[in-house]
Amino acid sequence: MKNYNLEYFLSKKYSFVLIKNNKIFYQSKSRGLKPLVFCLRKHKKEMRGAIVYDKIGGLAAATLLASAKVKKIQTLIISQRAKKYLVKNRIEVIYEKEVKNIMNENKTDLCGMEKLAAEKGLRGLREFWKI
* Domain spans, the chain: 6-129
65-124: pLDDT as tens digits: 999 999 999 999 999 999 999 999 999 999 999 999 999 989 999 999 999 999 999 999
Indicate the class that CATH gives domain 6-129. Answer: alpha beta
DSSP codes joined into one string, 34-61: HHHHHHHHHHHHHHTT-EEEEEEE-HHH
**Cα separation of 99 and 48, whole Å?**
27
Whether 97 contacts 76, CB under 8 Å: yes
15-71: pLDDT as tens digits: 999 999 999 999 999 999 999 999 999 999 999 999 999 999 999 999 999 999 999
Question: Could you tell me how far CA 13 lies from the centroid of its own chain?
Answer: 16
pTM: 0.94
The residue among 5 and 51 whose pLDDT is bigger is 51
**Cα separation of 20 and 121, whole Å?**
26
Neighbours of 34 (CB within 10 A): 13
What is the reported pLDDT for 4?
86
Give residue 94's identity as a one-letter amino acid code.
Answer: I
